[in-house]
Structure 1
Amino acid sequence: MTVIPVIDLLQGQVVRALRGDRQHYRPIVSALCASSDPLTVARILCDHVAARQLYVADLDALQGGVGHVAVVRQLLEALPGLELWLDAGFADVSEAHALGAALGPLSQRLVPVFGSESLRSRAALEACFTPSGRGILSLDRRHGERLDAAGCWDSPALWPSRVIVMTLERVGAGTGPDVDTLREVATRSPHVQLIGAGGIGSEADLALAQASGASAWLVASALHDRKLPRMST
């Protein structure tokens, strides 16, 4: 099981995500690192799990504000061996392309995450994952309700090769992985690489997630709370 560390950015700082209640997120307080500076936190988390990918949720952009382009640039420049997965509330592929153009050559290591909560329409979904595209789809839900104006959940023929299953009420809660939803998605598209998000609170949770079909999991709180051991390559 691959652990992909997560940093949630809000107003220039890393915050602790909890159950998707973004209005109440606060700067991270961590047993692993004594800072909420994005680069500092990213370095420590990636080192702790020997990560080759880093997931960044730009919460300001997700909520319609100004995104953290300068921070994303800093992360890409300072962590040259890393692939950066970015969810910045992209409503369509043109927004991801605009960010890539602003980043120049650094964008070669940027992978846009298109969240079902953000995509504006079915047409936007259809345009995201062309054969040359590198994007990832995130299927987002909260308390059993799909966040999905574009109809992503019911369009497996349009899914890319990597799909995130995001259960927002479990984010930061340590209540265990949502294996039922994971298995549901796997049934819809058996050949897709599934990445889970939310609920991990122990090594046992990771083992359960892997047994349920996940190849990787997005993790933040369990790392900050030292509930997962240091990992090596």
Structure 2
Amino acid sequence: MIEIIPVLDIMGGLVVHAVAGRRDEYKPLRGSVLADKPDPHLILTSLKNLGFTTVYIADLDAIMGRGDNSSVIYTAAVLGFKVLADVGRRGLSLADTDRVAYVIGTEYMRYPNEVGLLVGRVVSLDMYGDEVLFSNTRRRVNEVIDDFKRVEFKKVLVIDLSRVGTGSGVNKAVISELVKYFPGKLIVGGGVRGEGDVMYLRDVGVVGVLVATAIHKGVIRRPVY
């Protein structure tokens, strides 16, 4: 079984359409089957009615240091969702709760000095192709995997920013390697086209998949596969 985890990218209090990690180009979401406007509460309510139980919320204003959308995270928790919340580096100073786990992205961390700070947390390997992005460098995944596989994480997200919102398919070469090192903990995002990609991820041992575009288009409507 693999869980579908809907993604909400929040900017200025609205759900925006994320494409290839170019955050300054994100626009309010249009044409979603879930709601007729980019209102987070409406979209969360629709997802709840469809049976989804976990959501990933990226507070883009917090990530970019120019605002805060914590009310959306709170709303999701009140509606009964388990929330994976990305609020940027600030997440390191926030404690996880029963409802909310803060995702710490490698793009906020210095390599290799700060890898140890991620023990017991939900970590996101922020990737662009086969490179992992850090605040001070970018390295091919095979160069850093030894440092990461020694750390005990709560969950490991692999997000290929170059594929986000593109519907170009998942990075099978990278995923098939990483799933060996993080059995039962790997969640994948970026480029998911539809059920075929979901089935592939399930079959190789991935436990969750982050999806936005395919849900808003109505291609994926089930919470588990």
Is structure 2 residue 155 aligned with structure 1 residue 162? Answer: yes
SS in 2 for 1:108: coil
Q: Of the candidates 194, 204, 216, which is equivalent to residue 212 of structure 1?
A: 204
How many percent of aligned residue pairs carry the same amino acid? 29
Residues 55 and 83, structure 2, Cα contact 8 Å, conserved in 1: yes
- The one-letter amino acid of 1:128's match is L
Correspondence 1:43-82 to 2 at 5 A: 43-48=45-50, 50-77=51-78, 79=79, 81-82=80-81
CA distance in structure 2 between the aligned counterparts of 1:214 and 1:82, rounded to whole angstroms: 21
Query: What secondary structure does 2:159 align onto?
Result: strand
Match of 2:175 among 179, 182, 198: 182
- State yes or no: 1:33 paired with 2:25: no
Deviation (angstroms), 1:217: 0.1
Q: Report the counterpart of residue 88 of structure 1 in structure 2.
A: 87
TM-score normalized by structure 1?
A: 0.83
**Counterpart amino acid of residue 186 in structure 1:** V
Contact residue 184 and residue 207 of structure 2 kept, 8 A:
no
Map of 1:137 onto structure 2:
123
> 1 CA distance for matches of 2:53 and 2:210?
13
State how far apart, in whole Å, the 2-side matches of 1:28 and 1:73 are: 21
Where 1:76 maps in the other structure, the secondary structure is helix
The letter for the 2-side match of 1:116 is T
- CA–CA distance in 2 between the matches of 1:128 and 1:164? 13
Bigger proportion of residues as helix = 1
Q: 1:186, CA displacement in angstroms?
A: 2.1
Contact kept, 8 Å, 1:92 with 1:128, in 2: the verdict is no
Cα-Cα RMSD: 2.3
**Structure 2 SS opposite 1:51:** coil
1:126–1:23 Cα change, 3 Å: same
Gaps of 5+ in 1: 101-106
Counterpart-to-counterpart distance in 1, 2:130 and 2:198: 22
Structure 1 residues 146 and 185, CA gap change in structure 2 (3 angstroms): same
Aligned AA (2:107):
E
Give 1:41 deviation, angstroms.
1.0
**What letter is aligned with 1:6?**
V
How far residue 122 of structure 1 moved from its aligned partner, in angstroms, is 4.5
- For structure 2, list consecutive stretches of 5 or more residues without a partner in the other structure: none
> What SS is found at the alignment partner of 2:162?
helix
Quote the Cα distance in structure 1 between the aligned partners of 2:107 and 2:184: 20
Match of 2:132 in 1: 146
1:202 alignment counterpart: 194
Map Cα deviations across residues 189-219 of structure 1 (whole Å, 9 max, x no partner).
Answer: 1435110001111111111121232111000
Paired with 1:123 and 1:92, the residues of 2 have a C-alpha distance of: 18
Aligned residue in 2 for 1:20: 21
The CA deviation at 1:125 is: 3.2
Q: Which residue of 2 aligns with 1:104?
A: none
Give the C-alpha shift of residue 229 in structure 1: 3.5
Instruction: Label 1:75 to 1:195 Cα distance change in 2 as closer, same or farther (>3 A).
Output: same
Moved more, 218-227 or 26-35: 26-35
